[in-house]
Amino acid sequence: MAAVPVRQRCGSVSPRTQLPPCYYEGYLEKRGPKEKASRRLWTCLCGNSLYFFNNAKDIHYVEKLDLGGFVSLKDDSSRDKNLEAARLILRMKDGETKLTAPNLESRELWKGFLYSVTDLNVPSCLTLLPGQLQMLKEVVDKERSRRRSRNPGRAPPSPLSVPLVGEIPPCFRPVSRTEAEVLLERHPDCGNMLLRPGRDGCSLAVTTRQDLNGSVFRHYRVTQRDQGGYVIDVENPIPCATLHEVIDALVERTAGTLQPFLLEEPYEENITYVSANDENGERILHTAPTSPLPKAPALPPKQGSSPSLVQ
C-alpha cells in the first residue's frame, strides 16, 4: 500500500488521538541503528516525530522517532529484492535509520514531508507536482502554528540586548546552541565554526565542530569589553578589536583547522503564485512567465475621427 495523505479517523477516542496532528502516513520498511533486519511498519508523521505501528489499524505505536535530532536525508541506491522499492537513509544525531518506500514517487513524497517538518520550509530540491507542493506548504503552516501554541511565550533564540560593534562576520547565525550544532553537522562542507548569540543575551558564542571518532562540539564565550572590542573568554583571554578579529584569531590559533561557516542559501529562480481554478475552486501553483507579456496591438483609428490636412 502506498503512502497516503492523512485522513480523518472516526470512532471512539483512542491513543492515536493523543498524538500530534498526522500529516502523512503509509507503510515503510524500517531498520534502526541497532537493528539487524528491516520491519514493515505503518508509519505516521505526527508533528515532528515518526510513529511506527504494526499495521494501519493498530492504536498503540511500537516505536517513536523524534526528528528533533535530524541531520540529513539521502537516497540509498543499493538494490532491493523488490525492484520497485526505493530506499532512504535518515541520518540523526544519534545514528542512521534506513527506510524503504514502495516506489520512487512515495520516497519523494516522504522526503518532502520530512524536510517540511524539520526545516519548516517547503523543499525546493525535490521533483513534486504543484498540488503536492501546496500540500507541503499547508503542513509547514500547521506545524509552525502547532509549535507556537506549545510555546506561546517563547522568544526568538537568545536575542542580543547589546548593540554589536563593527561589521558582523558572515558566519554569524541567530541560532541556539543546539541549532548551531545541527547546522554544522548537517553542512560539513560549509565550514566548522559559527558565531551566534549567547544564552544570556548579553554575550556571543562561537560553536565549532570537529571529527574525532564522531562529532566533537566546542562552545566559546565572546564578551564585549567596556572599553570597546571583544574578548574570547578562555583560560588566557584573547582580546580582539572586532568580531572579525575574533574569527580570525580562532582560525590562526588552530592553524586553519577551524573555518568560518558560510552557507549559501538558495533563492528562487522563478516567480510563482497561487490562484483558484474558476471551475472547481482548486488552488493551483503557477510559474510566472519569464519574458514580459506582449502588449495588445493598438486599434487603428476610426475613419473620419482624425482631423483632415489642409492642402
Q: What is the CATH number of the domain that holds 246?
A: 3.30.505.10
- pLDDT value at position 10? 37
- pLDDT value at position 263? 84
For residues 99 and 10, the answer to whether their CB atoms sit within 8 Å is no
Over residues 127-168, the pLDDT tens digits come to 888 899 999 999 999 998 888 887 654 444 445 555 665 678
| 13, 127: one domain | yes
| 119, 202: one domain | no
Domain span holding position 55: 4-150
| 105, 189: one domain | no
Over residues 169-189, the pLDDT tens digits come to 999 998 888 888 888 988 899
201 lies in some domain: yes
Domain CATH for 127: 2.30.29.30
| 195, 80: one domain | no
Domain boundary among 226, 253, 280: 253
- pLDDT value at position 265? 66
35 lies in some domain: yes
- pLDDT value at position 69? 82
| 15, 138: one domain | yes
Given a cut of 50, the residues of the chain with pLDDT beneath it are 1, 7-13, 153-158, 308-311
25 lies in some domain: yes
DSSP structural state of residue 153: T
Q: Which residues share a beta bridge with 90? A: 73, 97
N-term to C-term CA, the chain:
86
76 lies in some domain: yes
Residue 172 corresponds to which cell in the numbers above? 554569524
* Distant-in-sequence, close-in-space partners of 144: CB < 8 Å, separation ≥ 6: 120
Of the candidates 87, 89, 85, the one whose C-alpha atom is nearest the C-alpha of residue 73 is 89
| 43, 91: one domain | yes
For residue 105, how many other CB atoms are within 10 A of its CB?
17
Domain boundary among 236, 253, 270: 253
pTM (two decimals) = 0.52
| 137 alpha-carbon distance from chain centroid | 12
Structural domain total, the chain: 2
* Distant-in-sequence, close-in-space partners of 231: CB < 8 Å, separation ≥ 6: 222, 223, 225, 237, 238, 239, 240
For residues 196 and 204, the answer to whether their CB atoms sit within 8 Å is yes
- pLDDT value at position 264? 74
| 84, 187: one domain | no
Element (H, E) at 245: helix 243-253
Residue 57 corresponds to which cell in the numbers above? 489499524
- pLDDT value at position 5? 54
Spell out the long-range contacts of 67-73 with Cβ–Cβ below 8 A and sequence spacing 24 or more: 67/92, 67/114, 67/117, 67/118, 69/93, 69/94, 69/182, 70/114, 70/118, 70/182, 71/182, 71/185, 71/186, 72/186, 73/111, 73/114, 73/115
| 135, 189: one domain | no
- pLDDT value at position 269? 75
203 lies in some domain: yes
CA distances from 104 to 41, 87, 111 (A): 18, 8, 11
286 lies in some domain: no
259 lies in some domain: no
Domain boundary among 134, 150, 166: 150
| 94, 144: one domain | yes
| 139, 205: one domain | no
| 27, 78: one domain | yes
Backbone angles phi, psi at 116, to 5 degrees: -65, -40
| 146, 182: one domain | no
213 lies in some domain: yes
